[in-house]
Amino acid sequence: MKYLIVGLGNMGSEYAETRHNIGFKIVDALAKASSSIFKPSRLGDMCEIKHKGRTFVLVKPSTFMNLSGKAVQYWMAETKVSIDKVLIITDDIALETGVIRIRAKGSDGGHNGLKSINQVLGRQDYPRLRFGVGNEFGKGQQVDYVLGEWTSEDLGIVNPKIEKAAEAALAFGTMELRFVMNQFNG
């Protein structure tokens, strides 16, 4: 069985440590735990890992967040993975820092990466793992906040939760989604 795990973020060193790149951080943790290395490919960096007899194709789109749908559509076709075996990992300002929320479907919630995926795929019924980045920003400061770097206090919360989110992504390929949700949501 093959699964496609897409961590949303923006390419480039200026974005590497930002809240908006938590999707990249989580797929990086998966690759590192398996001693795999991302290689540049079409519309993103990609690597494959094996876990419990399953293949996980990990992708970090190079299309920038607002065009994530183009990369997701390409990699679904390239890997021949159906929508139910795709997991999108993204940041979420509606959740407290470090909170993990897995859902089978949902709206974009104002997230431009999810909005692009919904538009390109023409649907919202795909699994996603949302990682809380908090919402400690003033009116009109949302973009600066998500494109801002984590505080040292935040990193104390975030780093262990990155490992937990990586575990949830692997569980996505080995358990029914409702069990993954029960085990990791909260």
Active site residues: 20
Provide the pLDDT confidence category of residue 186 given band limits of 50, 70 and 90.
confident
pLDDT (mean) for 16-45: 97
Please say whether the beta carbons of 127 and 86 come within 8 A. Answer: yes
Q: How would you class 177 by CB atoms within 10 Å of its CB: exposed for 0-12, middle for 13-18, buried for 19 or more?
A: middle
Q: What's the pLDDT at 30?
A: 97
Q: Return the CATH number of the domain spanning residue range 2-184.
A: 3.40.50.1470
The answer to whether 61 and 44 have CB atoms below 8 angstroms apart is yes
Q: How many residues does the chain have?
A: 186
Mean pLDDT of the chain: 96
The answer to whether the Cα torsion of 121, 146, 85, 61 is positive or negative is positive
Tokens coding 71: 């990369």
Average pLDDT over residues 127-146: 93
Give the pLDDT score at 138. 87
pLDDT category, 37, cuts 50, 70, 90?
Answer: very high
On whether the CB atoms of residues 96 and 132 are closer than 8 A, the answer is yes
